[in-house]
Structure 1
Amino acid sequence: MRELLAHRRYTGPLIEAGKAAKLLHASDSLRLMILDFQPGELSAGSEYEFDPEFHRQAGAALKLLHSQAQCLDPGYEARLTQKFLVLLEREHRIEPAACRQIEQMLRSYEPQPAVLVPTHGDWQPRNWLADQGGLRVIDFGRFEFRPAASDLARLAVQQWRVRPDSEAAFLQGYGHDPREGEAWRIMQLREGLGTAVWAHQVGDRDFEAQGLQMLAETLAQA
């Protein structure tokens, strides 16, 4: 279980900083874990969702997670390319012309070895608690080793579009911008494709619309 692995091995720096819950008990056989209570309210929909200072805290907290380990994976990007080419064949509502462009972009992309770090997988305000203005992080259910920039993908198409100053504050807290040229554009393409296909399959029209919009914007920049 991804979340259990995260709490057993990689949330330590966040716990020390008062940003994440302690793991109290866990059972692999029961797929069960008990975490310490985290005070606060979800920042999504609150005054903190777009607040630059809160985003600065989020950037600094993410750096604590990412800085713990790294590995070089020569085949990571190539495996993802094949995965998303298969995903493109599933049922969805992406226009045929867009599908052809997506396939062309994925097949023509020349992946480089990827540096992978411990990532949250859904780093955004719906997983940030605001505790009297202080940030706390929840839900490590999508934890995995990925490129660092992947944890910026949702923020880039949601909150940072509305508040560029929050993006600047986040990057100040993180210490630098991990997004890099073509790799970032392909990452956004995959995020949009995965969102559009998954949301269509589960009937989430709003999330599907976000995925389609992500795809349209990425393709327009190609």
Structure 2
Amino acid sequence: MTDSTMPAPALLAWAGKELGVPVSVTADAPHPRRTPCGNSRGNPRVWVLRRPDGALFHLKVSPQPLAYERETLALRHAVPALGAGRAPQLRASNPEHLALLLTTVPGRPLRQLAVSPAGEVRAHRQGGVLLARLHEAGDLSGPRRTEAERALWAAADCAGPLLRRAGDRITTAEHRYVRDLTERLRILPPLPLAFVHGAARPRNLLWSRSTEQAGWIGFERARFAAAVQDFVQMSCGVWADRPDLRAACFQGYGRRLLPEERHALKALAALDAVSCLVRGPALADHEITARGRRTLDRLMAGVFV
């Protein structure tokens, strides 16, 4: 690694002090993230640190204060409910550098592994179990409940700016469909609220082949919201071709979505599709663009589940 990819010396010294011994950097792992409404948040930086005894930790620097604040809150107050080895544990935080020192979680991102279909089913079922624990862990009182109750309205507010930016990438009929669908988010009855992961997708779902256990990472978008918001990205992604994974996740989660939640999921998927059609061309990322087009086509054809 070059000096430009290494942590700042002061940051590395802080991590060593927190762990009680000097540490070495063994890997540099950029951790890209994107936001709703098509706005890039920048890329967190993640390094793997090794103690002299061989123990590994992750040093993560958030790209902006909101991501740092959200992940710190999640790691302190909700993520421990997932259990040991199922999510990172916070060893220390450094607000000056927006840095987090985390334990490692066994396994690798599911999307990076060649796992049998049966193994993927087990991973998604366990992922659903863990999401249920996370959703129940947050304290939904006072302003946090208000934040969660307003989450779908906030999502609906994204529709106008997104549709304007999409321009002629979507047809007039698609524009009208997305607008009508997202406006319904404002008139839905109260939906189950939760402390959501915010980026529940295969790249954040870890799977350990040796223990056959799943875990979640990447909590910088965790927040109080409608529980259904945690199922958008997988519904628009891997679940499109694998309904068995969707069924496994909800089996682990312990319940199916309510009819009102299914309506919300369609509207949120429409927003995700338009966001992809904005971001993909801007980033020259054909995979993102294709995902958005496929989701919107499925919605228009009435086959989105």
Q: Distance in 2 between matches of 1:44 and 1:147?
A: 26
Whether 2:211 is the aligned partner of 1:135: answer no
Flag the structure with more relative contact order, 1 or 2, with Cα contacts below 8 A and sequence separation at least 6.
1
Secondary structure of the equivalent of 1:88? helix
The 1:41/1:105 distance shift into structure 2, 3 A limit, reads: closer
Q: Distance in 2 between matches of 1:83 and 1:101?
A: 15
Q: What residue in structure 1 maps to residue 90 of structure 2?
A: 23
Q: What residue in structure 2 maps to residue 85 of structure 1?
A: 160
Instruction: Note the C-alpha offset of 1:91.
Output: 4.8
Whether 2:302 is the aligned partner of 1:221: answer yes
Deviation track 1:111-149 (CA, whole Å, cap 9, x = no partner) reads 234443111112122112222221121111221222112
Secondary structure of the equivalent of 2:257? coil
CA contact (8 A) 1:49 1:125 kept: no
Whether 2:191 is the aligned partner of 1:191: answer no
CA contact (8 A) 2:109 2:206 kept: yes
Q: Distance in 2 between matches of 1:205 and 1:218?
A: 20
Deviation track 1:18-44 (CA, whole Å, cap 9, x = no partner) reads 201110110112101110122322211
Return the index of the structure with the highest Cα Rg. Answer: 2
Q: What residue in structure 2 maps to residue 41 of structure 1?
A: 108
After superposition, the CA RMSD in angstroms is 2.4
1:119 maps to which of 188, 196, 200: 196
The 1:171/1:145 distance shift into structure 2, 3 A limit, reads: same
The 1:93/1:143 distance shift into structure 2, 3 A limit, reads: farther
Instruction: Note the C-alpha offset of 1:17.
Output: 4.2
Whether 2:237 is the aligned partner of 1:158: answer yes
Q: Distance in 2 between matches of 1:124 and 1:49?
A: 18
TM-score (norm: length of structure 2)? 0.65
Q: What residue in structure 2 maps to residue 52 of structure 1?
A: 121
Identity, % of aligned pairs? 25
Unaligned segments of structure 2, at least 5 residues: 1-67
Deviation track 1:63-83 (CA, whole Å, cap 9, x = no partner) reads 110011343655433332222
Q: Which residue type is aligned with residue 169 of structure 2?
A: I
Instruction: Note the C-alpha offset of 1:191.
Output: 1.8
Q: Which residue type is aligned with residue 205 of structure 2?
A: W
CA contact (8 A) 1:130 1:136 kept: yes
1:65 maps to which of 131, 134, 138: 134
Q: What residue in structure 1 maps to residue 181 of structure 2?
A: 105
TM-score (norm: length of structure 1)? 0.87
1:3 maps to which of 65, 71, 93: 71
Q: Distance in 2 between matches of 1:37 and 1:87?
A: 37
Q: Distance in 1 between matches of 2:156 and 2:237?
A: 24
Deviation track 1:155-179 (CA, whole Å, cap 9, x = no partner) reads 2233323332222221111100235
Q: Distance in 2 between matches of 1:162 and 1:90?
A: 29
Unaligned segments of structure 1, at least 5 residues: none
Whether 2:273 is the aligned partner of 1:206: answer no
- Count of aligned positions: 221
